[in-house]
A and B are shown apart, each in its own frame.
Chain A
Amino acid sequence: MNIKQKVKGRLSDQKRAVLVVQYKRDPISKVKYTVWGIILLAIVWWSAQGTNFNLIELQAGAYGIADIVSRMFPPDFSIASRMINPIIETVQISILGTILAILISIPFGLLAASNIAPNSVVYQSSRLILNTLRAIPEVIFALIFVAAVGLGPFPGVLAIGVSSSGMLGKFLADYIENVAPGPLEALKATGANKIQVINYAIVPQILPEFVSLALFRWEMNFRASTILGIVGAGGIGFELMTSMRLFKYQEMIVILMLILLVVTIVDTIASTIRNRII
Chain B
Amino acid sequence: MISISGLSKNYNQEVQALKTVNLNIKSGEFVVLLGQSGAGKSTLLRCINRLVEPSEGEVSFNGVLLNNTKNIKHLRQKTGMIFQHYNLVKRLTVLQNVLCGRLAFNNTLSTCLKFFPQKDVELALACIERVGLSDKTYVRTDQLSGGQQQRVGIARALVQQPQIVLADEPVASLDPYSAEMVMEILQEINNKDGITMVVSLHNVQLARKYAHRVIGIREGRILFDKPVDRIQEIDIDLTYGGTQDTCEH
Contact = CB atoms under 8 A, between A and B. Distances in A.
A193 B96 CA distance: 17
Interface in A178-212: 180, 182-183, 185-193, 195-196, 199-201, 204-205, 207-208
B111 interface: yes
| Interface SS of A by simple majority | helix
A204 B89 CA distance: 7
A195 B104 contact: no
Contact of A205 (B49, B87, B89, B101): B89
B104 A186 contact: no
A207 B74 CA distance: 31
A186 B153 CA distance: 9
A195 B108 CA distance: 7
Interface residues of A, number: 21
Contact of B160 (A182, A183, A190): A190
B103 A186 contact: no
A190 B51 CA distance: 11
Given A189-B79, A192-B103, A205 B91 contact: yes
B103 A189 contact: no
B76 A189 contact: yes
A186 B87 contact: yes
B88 interface: yes
Nearest to A189: B81
Given A191-B77, A195-B112, A200 B103 contact: yes
Contacts of B204: none
Interface residues of B, number: 30
A237 B96 CA distance: 47
Contact of B112 (A186, A189, A199): A199
A28 to B, nearest CB: 41
Contacts of B73: 191
A187 B100 contact: yes
A162 B91 CA distance: 31
A190 B104 contact: yes
A190 B108 contact: no
B103 A190 contact: yes
A182 B83 contact: yes
Given A187-B100, A193-B104, A200 B77 contact: no
Contact of A200 (B86, B89, B160): B89
A203 to B, nearest CB: 9
A185 B76 CA distance: 12
B156 interface: yes
Contacts of A190: 76-77, 80-81, 100-101, 103-104, 156, 160
Interface string B76-116: 11011101011111111000100011011000100110000
A183 B88 contact: yes
Contact of A188 (B51, B75, B80, B153): B51
A203 B83 CA distance: 21
A154 to B, nearest CB: 31
Interface string A33-67: 00000000000000000000000000000000000
A186 B83 contact: yes
Interface in A189-239: 189-193, 195-196, 199-201, 204-205, 207-208
29 contacts: A182-B83, A182-B86, A182-B87, A183-B88, A185-B87, A186-B83, A188-B51, A189-B76, A190-B77, A190-B80, A190-B81, A190-B100, A190-B101, A190-B103, A190-B104, A190-B156, A191-B73, A191-B103, A191-B104, A191-B160, A193-B103, A193-B104, A196-B103, A196-B108, A196-B111, A196-B112, A200-B89, A200-B92, A200-B103
Interface of B: 49, 51, 73-77, 79-81, 83, 85-92, 96, 100-101, 103-104, 108, 111-112, 153, 156, 160
Interface of A: 180, 182-183, 185-193, 195-196, 199-201, 204-205, 207-208
Given A195-B112, A200-B103, 19 more contacts: A183-B87, A185-B83, A186-B83, A188-B76, A189-B51, A189-B76, A191-B76, A191-B77, A191-B103, A191-B104, A191-B160, A193-B104, A193-B108, A195-B108, A196-B104, A200-B89, A201-B100, A205-B90, A205-B91
